[in-house]
Every structure is written in C-alpha cells, then in structure tokens.
Structure 1
C-alpha cells in the first residue's frame, strides 16, 4: 500500500485553530493525524508540504524507514516545527497501517496493557478564566475556582491540573511571562505571585475536597531561583506534581533535589536524545511526552528509555479530540504510564468535527476498539468552519 497524496486541513477552534494531516493511499485507505500550529509552532504545515514529496510513493507499512529518511533530510535543523511535521506524518502512517490491518493502533504498539486510562482534568479552571467565550461557565474569582473544582469531583475525576493566576486588581487573569503574557523576560517571582498561587490552590482544595489530587503547571514562567521560592511556599500543600519547563536538565535536577513535591517536565522535547540528559541527571519524577510532536511510534521509544531509568511517563495532550484518541492508544500500550492529560472543557461544536468523541467511564478514558485511532475528522464540518488568520499565542497583543 503506497502513499498517493498528503494534504493539510485546518478549522476554527475558538481561541485557536485545529490542524490535520490527511494521508491518502492507492488502496483507498486514508490515514489521519492532528498537529498544532497555535501554541508556538507556526509553519508546521509548510514543512509537511515540503516533506510530502519524499513520502508520496512510499510503502505505508515502512513508517520507520520513512521516519529515518525525512529525519536525515532535515538533520541540520532537527526538532522544532520540523520535528512536529515528521511526527504528524508518522502518526498518519500509523493510522493508515492499522486500518489496512483492521486493528486499533495500540496493536501496532505491542497490544493493550490497560483498557481504561487514568486521567486528570487539565486547564481547570484555566480555560474558563482565559477563554470564557468558548468554555463556560466563566470564572472570574476564587469562588468560581472553587465551583469548578467541585464540579471535577462531582463528575468523578480524581485529579485536576491548574496554572498560574492573579486574583487581585479585578477579575482573575493568567500569569504567563514565559509566553510573553505579560512581557516580563526576567521571569521573576514576586511575593504577589506567591500569595495568589497559594490562594488559588486553597480554593481548588476547598472545592475539590481531600480525595481529588491537584497538579500545578509552572511552564516556562520562572527561573530556578523563582521556582525554588514557589516550591518553598507550597511545602504545606500535598500536590500530585509540579510541572516545570526548562532547557537545563542540571538546573531542573537541582530544583527537584530541593522539592518535596514531585516534578514533571519534558513536554517540549524531541526524541530519546532530547530526553536522555533529563533521565541521566535524575531531573524528573514523571517525563511528559508529546506524542503529537514526536509521533506515537517514536514516543514508545522515549517511554522505553524512561522505563530504563525507572521513570513513568504522561502524554501531553491539550489539542482536539483526534489528538486525545491518538494519546489514548499510546497510554493503553505503554507499561510505565503515570496518568494522561485531557481537557474536559470542550468547544460547543467539537462533537460535530469528528466521527467519534472520547468516551469516559467513571473519570477514566475508554480505549476504543475501532481500527486506527478510532475516530476521523469530518471534512465537511472542518471546511464549514474556516480557520482564523491567526490564533493561539499569536493572537495576544503586546502588554
């Protein structure tokens, strides 16, 4: 079975766009994957278009050979949008191959380890603070934070993850200087930020009760000095993990050695070579793997390297429903899974974009038994919602 055409599609996804790769074959089977350009990765589609000429005509089943070839062709500039484009191609090849064999994608990855996936409610209540037009009810204060946490508990979720917010000076607003919102390149941590992080976490705990675990994502929003100040201030909280992004594995190992909270990281890394220094430095308790960026097949190699260093993994997943299904297959097959990220707040029209939505069972995700990823984008629905000119991080004006 040969690849005959690769094309990209995009649609409006509220505050951002969704992006898809469609891979056609000479046997009429279509492989799909979802990728992203909205959060720091503009240009992935352009790279896919450039690489497509080397993929068309090749054997769908030879996805490892294809990966090796396009990786060699782009070796002078690995990772980044090039890595994400290669990952998108690999994921579509896996979908087409599994459909040709009439099996779910997890069968290509070694088979089921689990048929229910433990998850945490991500961006809780982040989306309702940052994007109330698309995700409601709107949250503007600590009482709203408390209500959202209570909703997570009532809906059967056992864990939730939040971000950094300021609850002074009017309605709550996000603190994301690592992403230039606001533009504060020093990334310094102030007493005001510490005070507000504590208030935010306390509201979540009051709403969620004692049995729902809480995670917090610090992203790239502080340097080691500030990270340690924040961690010291959170010593009295029992957190599932503190999530940190940094390009310096030794610095992260130092932070971890001074933290009583577990540390998760690595969601922006590519390949085993990218992850290996973090494992060697014992910098993380949990390695977060972006299977959308890396490709699910390559992500299984990363998970194996993590297991060799006695580290569990967690999929990075804040995209559309196809990405959630792709990550479900990874989480179903990988032995050393800690938990899976999922955005519970969805767009009102999300269900119209795909043939099947993710299925929950008591706060866990059900592994689908359908061939391939178990869902496909509906092209007519995508074309009915043309993408915005810009979206995601690029929509924010300079502060």
Structure 2
C-alpha cells in the first residue's frame, strides 16, 4: 500500500517560531517552519486549513501539493498563506529526503558547492557598539555581517541622522578590514529621497549590498534607487513569489532575498533563484528565523549556482527565551568553520529536531510582536 500523509501538527515555540510536523502512514516524519514574525498564530490556522488539501495524499507529489495549496482557493498569495505553504512544503521535502536516505540538495540536482558562506546580524546604536558586536561575530568565526542602517529615520534625515548612518558603517569597515563584508539594511525605514541621499555616502566603505531601500509596496520605485548608487541593491524578504520578484529584477536589483518560510518554501525559492539567474542576479535568502528555515535555506544553497550568502540568526537579539540550536538533537551540522557551514549530509533537511523539546515549548507557546514606532510628532514610523 502506498504511503499517504496521515497527520499534520503545528507547534508554536519560543522565541517566535511556528514548526510544522507531518507524519506519513508508514511512519516517516518531516519537519518544516511556517514562522511569520508577529503573525504565527494566524499562520497556524492557515496550516491546518491547508492540511485539509494534503491529508490522505501522496507525500512524494510535492509539486502537485504546492500547486493545489497556492492556487486551490480563489484568493491567494500574501505572507500568511505563503508561510503556511512554506512550512508544509519544507516538511514534505524532509520526508522525501528521508525516504531515499539523501539530503534534499541531492534531490534538487546535487551539490554545486561544498560549503555555504553565512553572515550574522549585528546591532548597536553607536559606532563603538557596532565595533564590539562585529568583533564578537568575527570571534565566532564569521567573515560577514549585516547591520541596520539606522533606527527610526525621519522622512528626510537630519544631518545628525545621516552622519550617524555613515559613522556606524565606517566603524564596521574598520573592524572587518579589507577582507570582511558588511551588508547594510535600510529595512524599509527610508523614503526613496532619503535612501538616494545616503547611498552615495556609503560607497567608500564598499558595502556588500544595500537591502530593502524602499518598502515592498513601493517596489515600483526601486529602480530609481538602483540607478543612484554603484553599490549592489537587494530586496525580497517581503515578496512572496516569482511574479513579485520579476519587476524588481527588471529594475536592476543585484541580490534577491526570498524567505523560505514566507515565499512558498523550497519549491518556490528554487524557481525564484532560476528567475534571478536570467537577470545575472544572486540569491541570498532572508532567514532571521529558526533551525528548520535555516536548514531549508542551506539545502537550496548547496544546489543553486547563483547563491551568494546565507543569513542566519544564531544569537540574534530577537531570540529571547530560545535560540536556533536549542531544538536540535545535534548542533554539529550548523557549526561555523571559517565563516561557512559545511555541506549537510544527513537525510532530508539534514538536521534532527528534538521533538520532546518542541512539544514542551508548545505548551507555553509565544505571542511575539514587532514593535510599533512613532516619529516625534506622533505619526507612525516604519520599523
């Protein structure tokens, strides 16, 4: 008798993640991550609605399940549905790899690299804090970091705000020297005019890329920013499919950053990477999330020629109460050596989840929310 999808479970675990567990009728178990930061409880409901479409189905028909989940309702798309699909999709790939006793990247065509370069996020509101935080990441074995360009930013930055951005990036370059890399995240906090004003001032410090210079709903403006700087431009953590990535690629972005827990999982991000390749653009998936999102991203990285670098959130300030490695039976697969993660060789996603720890964490759950910022006059400010 053919194997079927028998059970779909979800686990809301600290600090802000949503894990998906799928079990087949012949006892195979796959894990995925459907986290949507600040909306994971909503996604949990969506996962169980989508489960109605896959229960009883063949777990190996991943492409067909993906099509049904994304197109089987008249209303489609967006971060909630995308995240729910992503968690299920990752879990099905995990099952398939375990069935054939190979890592997922082997099912995607085989490895194109032996290790994947990773970067860590650093904070710090003052140049000295930036220096200290980057030094810690370098000490941990990383050769690249990403930092926010600013905190709350005025629509047209003051001299002090703009000088602060430049000073912090300058401090990062001082610590990293000529061989380390710093990416600068505008985080959608800047207006187009402000971003265009700041970008040329950062060029002497050779950022690896400038990220999300405009909010995703203003993607039609990103070409104006691309043309204002020689620094590579990236975006994509809040875009959810190939159709949304096409216009930003046409506008000239150099790096696309889909999130494997938002943008349709392994299945869709592989297609986004192929689309990017036709524009000579690189893939650098967004991933300030948990171990399953990271492992899924790495599986894609090992099989994707135009992959640039992988974000990871071990030790990130958001992770209060738990960290990426806390839900793993063995942390060795995600260890950093010379700023890289070695090719994952275990079956499926290549990591083993501590199910006892996950079930215990779900009893407490979480209600993580992003902050709401305001300008001094009381109006809403982008976070």
Is TM (by shorter chain) over 0.5?
Answer: yes
Return the offset for 1:141.
4.2
Q: Which residue of 2 aligns with 1:324?
A: 294
CA separation of 1:42 and 1:216: change in aligned 2, threshold 3 A: farther
Q: Which residue of 1 aligns with 2:37?
A: 38
C-alpha contact (below 8 Å) 2:149/2:186 kept by paired residues: yes
CA separation of 1:176 and 1:42: change in aligned 2, threshold 3 A: farther
| Aligned counterparts, 1:85-104, within 5 A | 85-104=84-103
| Aligned counterparts, 1:152-171, within 5 A | 152-165=137-150
Query: For residues 373 and 195 of structure 2, what CA distance do their matches in structure 1 show?
Result: 27
Return the offset for 1:359.
2.1
C-alpha contact (below 8 Å) 1:198/1:234 kept by paired residues: yes
Query: For residues 246 and 57 of structure 1, what CA distance do their matches in structure 2 show?
Result: 37
Return the offset for 1:164.
3.3
Q: Which residue of 2 aligns with 1:360?
A: 336
Structure 1: 5+ residue stretches without partners: 130-139, 166-174, 178-183
Q: Which residue of 2 aligns with 1:303?
A: 273
Q: How many residues in Structure 1 have an aligned counterpart in Structure 2?
A: 363
Q: Which residue of 1 aligns with 2:5?
A: 3
Secondary structure of the equivalent of 1:78? coil
Return the offset for 1:144.
2.7
Q: Which residue of 1 aligns with 2:346?
A: 370
Q: Which residue of 1 aligns with 2:168?
A: 200
Query: For residues 10 and 389 of structure 1, what CA distance do their matches in structure 2 show?
Result: 6
CA separation of 1:47 and 1:249: change in aligned 2, threshold 3 A: same
Give the counterpart of 1:314 among 279, 284, 304: 284
- For normalisation by structure 1, the TM-score amounts to 0.85
Return the offset for 1:211.
2.0
Secondary structure of the equivalent of 1:336? coil
CA separation of 1:321 and 1:25: change in aligned 2, threshold 3 A: same
CA separation of 1:246 and 1:54: change in aligned 2, threshold 3 A: closer
Q: Which runs of 4+ in 1 moved over 6 A?
A: none
1:285 aligns with 2:261: no
Return the offset for 1:237.
2.1
Query: For residues 49 and 120 of structure 1, what CA distance do their matches in structure 2 show?
Result: 34
Secondary structure of the equivalent of 1:315? coil
- For normalisation by structure 2, the TM-score amounts to 0.88
1:228 aligns with 2:196: yes
1:47 aligns with 2:46: yes
C-alpha contact (below 8 Å) 1:322/1:376 kept by paired residues: no
Give the counterpart of 2:127 among 123, 131, 142: 142
Structure 2: 5+ residue stretches without partners: 379-383
Query: For residues 86 and 222 of structure 1, what CA distance do their matches in structure 2 show?
Result: 31
Which sits farther off after the overlay, 319-328 or 231-240?
231-240
C-alpha contact (below 8 Å) 1:159/1:212 kept by paired residues: yes
CA separation of 1:266 and 1:37: change in aligned 2, threshold 3 A: closer
C-alpha contact (below 8 Å) 2:145/2:182 kept by paired residues: yes
Query: For residues 181 and 32 of structure 2, what CA distance do their matches in structure 1 show?
Result: 31
Secondary structure of the equivalent of 1:248? helix
Secondary structure of the equivalent of 2:221? helix
Which sits farther off after the overlay, 324-333 or 153-162?
153-162
Query: For residues 213 and 380 of structure 1, what CA distance do their matches in structure 2 show?
Result: 39
Secondary structure of the equivalent of 1:161? strand
Query: For residues 300 and 294 of structure 2, what CA distance do their matches in structure 1 show?
Result: 10
Q: Which residue of 1 aligns with 2:360?
A: 384
**Aligned CA-pair RMSD:** 2.2
Secondary structure of the equivalent of 1:97? helix
C-alpha contact (below 8 Å) 1:32/1:376 kept by paired residues: no
| Aligned counterparts, 1:118-129, within 5 A | 118-121=117-120, 123-124=121-122, 126=123, 129=124
Query: For residues 371 and 163 of structure 1, what CA distance do their matches in structure 2 show?
Result: 36
Query: For residues 145 and 38 of structure 2, what CA distance do their matches in structure 1 show?
Result: 21
Return the offset for 1:105.
0.8
Return the offset for 1:119.
1.6
Query: For residues 42 and 247 of structure 1, what CA distance do their matches in structure 2 show?
Result: 24
C-alpha contact (below 8 Å) 1:161/1:215 kept by paired residues: yes
Return the offset for 1:39.
4.2
Deviations 1:75-105 (A, max 9, x none): 4232220121112111111111111111111
